[in-house]
């Protein structure tokens, strides 16, 4: 195989269309006789529901229907647990709140009307009787025996208690020359796609077919869930994800609205649309990151880690649509690129009366990286060593792969790093940043009374999550090549990367290839786009299909040219005999022949294959980020000055897309480090209901990013790809907080939490000054 | 948004008439605050009286020792105005850092003052420069205009028509952003008036813009950044929210005042 396309920096194919405003997003879809939906959402975080009175609402002109849980019948039962696993006390949501609400913002009733304005007006007129109880908001006290319960049948609000370990931590801690204990805290944020969620459903009574458009990262899962919940056969439900204006994890779960809207469409016998408002997104879309970690590390004189003990609380919010996937990721990411012979990681995941927690770009990994990287800095400070050197002595060496960390992943497999050059990225990043030069600058800055800091963070990402993904390839009789998958893109660039892989494998120009995605009618099975998985799995599935089609092309061409397949080669959509370039056949000719020649004894018609790539394990990407900051102690304001990184995501399909993914990831990470925070007060009311209070990074918060790629192929798939979608985000809170602590070292400020908006950092600075 | 009636008067008297006519009527200027409140269903006027087509309500004129700015003048116009840039550069600078480009092209001086958002920027300039607010019926001193959170001396249906800013000897505005909204968490406007009086107006920190007496007297004794920075400001009565408690805001006031003074001194060379 030539690699003409794989590895090339081809601009993303969807960009021109989207930048010109030619995208077709969910809200652009308008169907005849379409009704609109508005939800009545709970004002209280923990309440039993009494009467729901819709009499006044029904009087509003244009109102068609007001429904609550009692109307739903079977469709109102709790969703099935996705990813059920051992030790999980499961709690899943329902299409509408079933008699009680678990967070402020949970949908209690839905109004369908001729217009959205009428639906909204009527929703306000629905009177709901609440019998409120005290909510539990605080993560730490949720486990106490006297805490209010989020779900009456789940004692101590404990969703999951799990211990992961290797070696003997207690013994290793006892005998370690040095020990440190710390508490770290990461606060809750949430994915903020420009385009909020939305669903349209259209039921064809005549054909008994339901078509649903949803702004989702997982159309097949939405289809399967709708079929199950509404009692339909899967093949009668088609789910389409149109152009999607960002996902960031907030669109991976199947939400109550994705059942309710189709149910309403079937009930009303007309198409129904719901588009989430930004306020609804803030209140009811999934959020993530809140954790508290109590860690203890034991280490020797050189800073080498001998033992790591970590107990952490993870906030699940109200429900667990994916079980403990997020905290489990944290546990796995905790190890990073380091050799740690004795590890004990204990997770206590608890329900609280807040919006549901599920994956948000990085999904638990930023927290794990934050914890281990803060520990690295503390060890360095404790020993008076350079933080880069302490990381170096702990790094897994290149000859140790495959490297078994001794822990297990969520699929039950070993957390085994298949390949890598972890010192490679550390060295490359240090060199790129001119680390010694930065330290010299710091000396100068400190002399001048400025608070200049350098931060370092390593990470190992867990992308390429299995178990499988599919991708089909077809050569049409006009020579065009559709490639189809189940996983839609929310900016990842599948339209381009899948085409690049297919082009090389098949031997055809990328211009002939069109990637179709995000429609369950295209391919029978799909899992979706999340966890930096699709490049790895979808890419390898497309490779398998392309190879199968190529074999058939060669077989048919061999017959046509009366030569053996071994003497044939394919280039640029033409099959020719090696050494006889003028004797060639176009793909079009072969494709036509493949249809005509089909007969009782010959080949089956067509040039088409749909294969699925399976994997038994996750791939592991890694990298090193370095940032410099300057802090203004008088205000707590942080300015990120420079940013350097070296990363390794295996073989790079398209460096331009990889760079874009990383830069976008860093923007998100800067938000996580310095700005983004969802806050609830003790009454369970969200304080950050709009962008007036939820602080997002903006263009001015971004800076020039210097990066180098290192390519250590994965050994788990033939293309050697590892995945990169979340890599940009994962280490950023760690690296920025590392730099802030470094900047404020003369003041003795310790950074044990993220994010650090000015007010919070100023409080830490003031507390350190008072203590001094 | 709830349903409302939309009206577009051609003159100030006609607008005042329309506002008087109907109790639920509200003036619409740039709509940057009012329309958002309506979309969030926090405001529900029955009638919107759009001031956008009234001749003579916008524009900037230098009149002797004053700059007169029409109520409907957009923030972007103030920011780009050569007259303002020359006479009161601090005011142009303030206007140029309100919100984002879209907001500056829609939002107006009159709308900002009538709204009296505790975190708005213009009130600091109006109070700091001792400006006068002209309405369809009277002229109000800055000191008497701002009453409380979202509350001004305007009577129901009274329209701001223009603001007269006395040209100071020098002035500077320093704004510390609330990280999400980018309004002023605290904004401090320091002015040395034509008569040499030092005025320090603070926005964002309290329920309504106010003068920082302790900093003013410190600066009257010695006009230096150090003097401003060393003045103590009480946290009593200041705002507290997730972006800053009263202590933080009180602490920021002298810090920002010192920066404003440094800017003034630097400009004077
Ligand atoms: C994203 C965003 C960011 C912003 N950032 C800032 C910032 O950093 N600093 C800042 O200071 N402001 C900021 N603002 C507010 C902005 O300056 C608004 O323009 C201003 O608050 C209101 O002006 P307006 O012309 O849009 O008034 P409108 O929204 O039209 O009206 C506001 C109120 O004033 C009344 N009103 C309007 N004109 C008159 C008049 N002539 N006489 C009497 N009453 C009148 C209206 O009836 C209404 O009650 C921001 C706004 C947005 C949306």
Q: Is B2 on the interface with A (CB under 8 A)?
A: yes
Pocket test for ligand 1, best of B33, B50, B158, B187 (most atoms within 8 A of CB): B33
Q: Closest residue (by CA) to atom 4 of ligand 1?
A: B99
Give dist(CA A184, CA A374) in Å, integer: 9
DSSP character at residue A73: G
**pLDDT per residue as tens digits for the range A686-717:** 999 999 999 999 999 999 999 999 999 999 99
* Summary mean pLDDT of chain A: 95
The arrangement of secondary structure in A32-133+194-246+251-284, i.e. its CATH architecture, is: Alpha-Beta Complex (3.90)
The span from the CA of A370 to the CA of A189, in Å, is 15
As to burial, measured by CB atoms within 10 angstroms (0-12 exposed, 13-18 middle, 19+ buried), residue B196 is exposed
Instruction: Work out whether strand B151-152 and strand B160-166 pair parallel, antiparallel, or are unpaired.
Output: unpaired
The CATH class of A15-22+465-614 is: alpha beta
**Count of CB atoms within 10 A of residue A231's CB?**
10
Mean pLDDT of A282-287: 97
Tell if the CB–CB gap between B176 and A763 is shorter than 8 Å. Answer: no
Cβ of residue A246 closer than 8 Å to a chain B Cβ: no
pLDDT classification of A651: cutoffs 50, 70, 90: very high
State the pTM of this model.
0.96
Cα–chain center distance at A655: 20
Could you tell me which residues come within 8 angstroms of residue A35 by beta carbon, excluding any fewer than 6 positions away?
Answer: A64, A112, A113, A114, A264, A268, A270, A271, A272, A273
Q: CB atoms < 10 A from the CB of A266, how many?
A: 19
Confidence of residue A411 (pLDDT cuts 50, 70, 90): low
Residue by residue, DSSP assigns A130-177 as EEE------TTGGGSTTSPPSSTTSGGGEEEEEEEEES-HHHHHHH-S
Ligand 1: centre distance to CA B199 (Å)? 25
Q: Give the CA dihedral A141, A144, A149, A151, nearest 10 degrees.
A: 100
Residues of B in contact with A121 (CB under 8 A): 2
Say whether residue A78 is in contact with chain B using an 8 A CB cutoff: no
Domain B5-50 has CATH 3.10.450.50: no
How much of chain A exceeds pLDDT 90, in percent? 89
d(CA A162, CA A327): 10
The arithmetic mean of pLDDT across residues B114-128, rounded, is: 97
Confidence at A402, pLDDT banded by 50, 70, 90: very high
3-class SS string, B103-126: HHHHCEHHHHHHHCCCCCCHHHHH
Averaged over A13-32, what is the pLDDT?
94
Point out the residue among A124, A757, A763 whose CB comes nearest to the CB of B179.
A757
Tell whether A692 is within 8 A of chain B (Cβ).
yes
C-alpha closest to that of A320 among A47, A132, A85: A85
Average of pLDDT values for A565-577? Answer: 93
So where are chain B's domains? 5-50, 60-268
A407-411, A511-515, A588-592, A602-606: the lowest-pLDDT one: A407-411
Of A634, A635, A693, nearest to B180 by CB-CB distance is A693
Helix (H, G, I), strand (E, B) or coil at A472: strand
Residue A81: partners with Cβ closer than 8 Å, 6 or more residues away: A88, A90, A92, A320, A323
CB distance from A204 to chain B under 8 Å? Answer: no
Backbone angles phi, psi at A270, to 5 degrees: -150, 160
Q: What is the mean pLDDT of residues A507-519?
A: 94
Per-residue pLDDT at A603: 80
**Residue A599: is its pLDDT beyond 80?**
no
Q: Where are the beta strands (DSSP E) in A383-450?
A: 403-408, 414-417
To the nearest whole Å, the CA of B7 is away from the closest chain A CA by: 21
Q: What is the per-residue pLDDT for A600?
A: 65
Q: Residue holding tokens 């619409």?
A: B28
Cβ within 8 Å, pair B180-A692? yes
At A604 the pLDDT is 87
> B247 φ, ψ to 5°?
-60, -45
Question: Looking at the domain B60-268, which fold is it?
Answer: 3.30.465
Q: Evaluate if residue A194 carries a pLDDT over 90.
A: yes
Q: How confident is the model at residue A487 (pLDDT cuts 50, 70, 90)?
A: confident
pLDDT in tens, A421-480: 999 999 999 999 999 999 999 999 999 999 999 999 999 998 888 788 899 999 998 999
Average pLDDT (B15-31) is: 94
DSSP string, A638-671: EEEEEEEEEEE-BS-S-HHHHHHHHHHHHHHHHI
Same fold, A32-133+194-246+251-284 and A291-411+422-463+618-771: no
Is the distance from CB of A237 to CB of A223 less than 8 angstroms? yes
For residue A602, name the pLDDT band (cuts at 50, 70, 90). Answer: confident
- CA distance readout (Å), B177 to A37, B150, B184: 37, 20, 5
Q: Looking at the complex, does the CB of residue B176 fall below 8 Å from at least one CB of chain A? A: yes
The ipTM (two decimal places) reads 0.96
Q: Mean pLDDT across the stretch A141-164? A: 96
Question: For the stretch B88-97, what's the b/e string if a residue is b when 16 or more beta carbons lie within 10 angstroms of its beta carbon?
Answer: bbbbbbbbeb
pLDDT score of A731 more than 60: yes
Q: Does A274 touch chain B (CB under 8 A)?
A: no
Residue A1 predicted with pLDDT over 60: no
CB neighbour burial string for A460-484, b if at least 16 within 10 angstroms, e if fewer: bbbbbbbebbbbbbbbbbebbbbbb
Q: What percent of chain B has pLDDT over 90?
A: 97
Chain B CB contacts of A695 under 8 Å are 179-180
Nearest to B199 by CA among B118, B122, B130: B130
Residue B208 C-beta-side C-alpha neighbours within 13 Å: 18
Q: Taking CB atoms and an 8 Å cutoff, what residues of chain A touch B176?
A: 635, 637, 758
Residues of A in contact with B233 (CB under 8 A): none
Decide: A695 and A56 in contact? Cβ < 8 Å: no
**DSSP assignment letter at A762:** H
CB burial of A487-506 (b: ≥16 within 10 Å; e: otherwise) equals bbbbbbbbbbbbbbbbbbbb
Class of domain A291-411+422-463+618-771: alpha beta
Specify the residue for token string 């690296």. Answer: A735
Residues 26-45 of B with CB under 8 A from A: 40-41
Query: Cβ of A117 and B1 within 8 Å?
Result: yes
Residue A282 pLDDT more than 80? yes
* Structural domain spans, chain A: 15-22+465-614, 32-133+194-246+251-284, 291-411+422-463+618-771
Return the percent helix, strand and coil in chain B, to nearest 5: 40, 25, 35
d(CA B269, CA B265): 6
Please, which residues bridge with residue A255 across strands? none
Question: Residue A625: its pLDDT value, please?
Answer: 98
Cα dist. B148→A743, B34, B207 in Å?
41, 18, 6
Structure tokens at A45: 């975080």
Is pLDDT above 70 for B111? yes
Helix (H, G, I), strand (E, B) or coil at B189: strand
Nearest 10 degrees: Cα torsion A243, A247, A250, A255: 20
Contacts 24+ apart (CB under 8 A), A78-86: A79/A225, A79/A229, A79/A254, A79/A259, A79/A321, A80/A225, A80/A228, A81/A320, A81/A323, A82/A221, A82/A253, A82/A254, A82/A321, A82/A322, A82/A323, A83/A322, A83/A323, A83/A325, A83/A410, A84/A323, A85/A323, A85/A324, A85/A410
Q: What is the mean pLDDT of residues A35-48?
A: 98
Residues of B with Cβ-Cβ distance to A758 under 8 angstroms: 176, 179, 244
For testing contact with chain A, the best of B2, B120, B179 (most A CBs within 10 A): B179
Summarize pLDDT for A285-344 with one digit per residue, the tens.
999 999 999 999 999 999 999 999 999 999 999 999 999 999 999 999 999 999 999 999
Output the CA B176–ligand 1 centroid distance in Å: 19
Chains A and B form CB pairs within 8 A to the count of 45
């Amino acid at each position: 195989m030539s690699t003409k396309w794989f590895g090339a920096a081809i601009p993303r194919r969807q960009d021109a269309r989207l930048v010109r405003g030619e995208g077709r997003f969910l809200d652009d879809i308008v169907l005849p006789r379409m009704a609109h939906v508005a939800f009545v959402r709970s004002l209280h975080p923990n309440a039993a529901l009494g009467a729901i009175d819709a009499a006044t609402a029904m009087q509003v002109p244009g109102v068609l229907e007001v429904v609550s849980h009692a109307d739903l019948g079977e469709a109102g039962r709790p969703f099935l647990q996705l990813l059920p696993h051992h030790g999980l006390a499961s709690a899943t949501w329902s299409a509408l709140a079933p008699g009680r609400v678990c967070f402020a913002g949970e949908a209690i009733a839905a109004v369908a009307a001729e217009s959205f304005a009428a639906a909204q007006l009527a929703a306000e007129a629905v009177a709901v009787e609440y019998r409120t109880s005290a909510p539990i908001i605080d993560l730490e006290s949720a486990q106490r025996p006297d805490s209010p319960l989020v779900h009456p049948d789940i004692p101590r609000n404990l969703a999951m208690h799990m211990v992961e370990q290797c070696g003997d931590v207690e013994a290793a801690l006892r005998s370690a020359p040095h020990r440190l204990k710390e508490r770290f805290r990461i606060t809750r944020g949430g994915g903020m796609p420009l385009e909020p969620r939305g669903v349209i459903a259209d039921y064809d009574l005549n054909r008994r077919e339901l078509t649903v458009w949803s702004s989702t990262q997982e159309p097949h899962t939405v289809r399967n869930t709708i079929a199950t919940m509404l009692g339909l056969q899967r093949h009668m439900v088609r789910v389409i994800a149109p152009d999607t204006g960002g996902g960031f994890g907030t669109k991976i779960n199947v939400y109550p609205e994705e059942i309710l809207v189709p149910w309403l469409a079937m009930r009303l016998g007309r198409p129904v649309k719901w588009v989430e408002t930004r306020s609804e997104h803030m209140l009811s879309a999934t959020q993530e990151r809140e954790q508290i970690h109590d860690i203890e590390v034991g280490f020797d004189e050189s800073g080498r880690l001998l033992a790591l003990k970590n107990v952490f609380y993870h906030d699940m919010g109200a429900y667990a649509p994916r079980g403990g996937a997020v905290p489990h990721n944290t546990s796995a990411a905790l190890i990073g690129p380091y050799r740690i012979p004795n590890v004990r990681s204990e997770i206590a995941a608890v329900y609280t009366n807040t919006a549901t927690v599920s994956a948000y770009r990085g999904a638990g990994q930023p927290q794990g990286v934050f914890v281990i990287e803060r520990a690295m800095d503390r060890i360095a400070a404790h020993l008076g060593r350079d933080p880069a050197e302490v990381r170096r002595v702990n790094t897994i060496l290149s000859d140790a792969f495959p490297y078994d960390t001794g822990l297990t992943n969520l699929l039950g497999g070993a957390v085994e790093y298949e390949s890598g050059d972890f010192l490679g990225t550390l060295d490359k990043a240090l060199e790129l940043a001119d680390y010694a030069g930065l330290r010299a600058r710091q000396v100068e800055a400190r002399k001048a009374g400025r608070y200049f800091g350098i931060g370092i963070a390593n990470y190992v990402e867990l992308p390429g999550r299995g178990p499988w993904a599919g991708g089909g390839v077809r050569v049409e009789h006009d020579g065009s090549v559709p490639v189809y998958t189940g996983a839609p893109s929310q900016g990842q660039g599948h339209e381009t990367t899948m085409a690049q892989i297919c082009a090389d494998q098949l031997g055809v120009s990328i211009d002939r290839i069109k990637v179709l995605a995000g429609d369950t009618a295209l391919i029978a099975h799909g899992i979706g786009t999340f966890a930096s998985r699709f490049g790895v799995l979808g890419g390898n599935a497309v490779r398998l299909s392309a190879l199968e089609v190529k074999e058939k092309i060669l077989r048919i061409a061999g017959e046509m040219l009366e030569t053996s397949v071994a003497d044939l080669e394919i280039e640029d959509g033409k099959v020719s005999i090696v050494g006889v370039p003028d004797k060639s056949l176009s793909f079009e000719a072969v494709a036509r022949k493949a249809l005509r020649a089909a007969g009782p004894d010959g080949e089956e018609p067509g040039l088409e294959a749909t294969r699925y790539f399976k994997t038994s394990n996750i791939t592991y990407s890694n990298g090193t980020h370095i940032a410099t900051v300057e802090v203004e102690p008088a205000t707590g304001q942080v300015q990120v000055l420079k940013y350097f990184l070296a990363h390794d995501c295996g073989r790079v399909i398209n460096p331009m897309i990889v760079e874009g993914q990383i830069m976008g990831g860093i923007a998100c990470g800067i938000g996580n480090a310095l700005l983004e925070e969802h806050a609830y007060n003790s009454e369970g009311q969200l304080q950050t209901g709009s962008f007036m209070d939820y602080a997002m990074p903006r263009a001015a918060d971004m800076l020039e990013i210097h990066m180098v790629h290192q390519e250590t192929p994965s050994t788990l798939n033939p293309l050697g790809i590892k995945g990169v979608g979340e890599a940009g985000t994962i280490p950023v809170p760690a690296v920025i907080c590392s730099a802030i602590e470094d900047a404020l070292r003369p003041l003795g400020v310790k950074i044990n939490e993220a994010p650090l908006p000015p007010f919070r950092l100023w409080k830490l600075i003031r507390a350190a000054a008072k203590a001094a | 948004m709830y349903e409302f009636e939309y009206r577009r008067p051609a003159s100030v008297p006609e607008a005042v008439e329309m506002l008087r006519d109907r109790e639920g009527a509200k003036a619409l200027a740039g709509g940057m605050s009012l329309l958002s409140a309506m979309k969030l269903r926090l405001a529900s006027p029955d009638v919107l009286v759009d001031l956008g087509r009234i001749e003579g309500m916008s524009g900037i004129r230098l009149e002797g020792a004053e700059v007169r700015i029409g109520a409907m003048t957009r923030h972007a116009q103030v920011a780009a105005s050569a007259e303002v840039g020359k006479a009161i550069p601090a005011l142009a600078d303030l206007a140029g850092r309100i919100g984002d480009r879209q907001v500056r092209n829609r939002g107006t001086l009159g709308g900002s003052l009538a709204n009296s958002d505790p975190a708005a920027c213009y009130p600091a300039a109006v109070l700091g420069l001792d400006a006068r607010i002209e309405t369809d019926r009277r002229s109000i001193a800055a000191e008497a205009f701002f009453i409380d959170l979202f509350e001004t001396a305007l009577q129901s249906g009274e329209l701001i028509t223009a603001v007269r800013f006395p040209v100071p000897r020098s002035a500077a505005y320093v704004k510390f952003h609330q990280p999400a909204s980018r309004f002023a968490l605290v904004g401090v406007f320091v002015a040395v008036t034509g008569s040499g009086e030092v005025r320090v107006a603070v926005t964002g920190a309290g329920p309504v813009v106010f003068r920082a007496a302790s900093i003013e007297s410190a600066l009257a004794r010695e006009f230096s950044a150090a003097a401003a920075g060393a003045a103590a400001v009480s946290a009593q009565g200041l705002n507290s929210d997730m972006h800053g408690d009263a202590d933080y805001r009180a602490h920021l006031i002298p810090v920002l005042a010192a920066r404003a003074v440094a800017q003034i001194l630097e400009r004077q060379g």
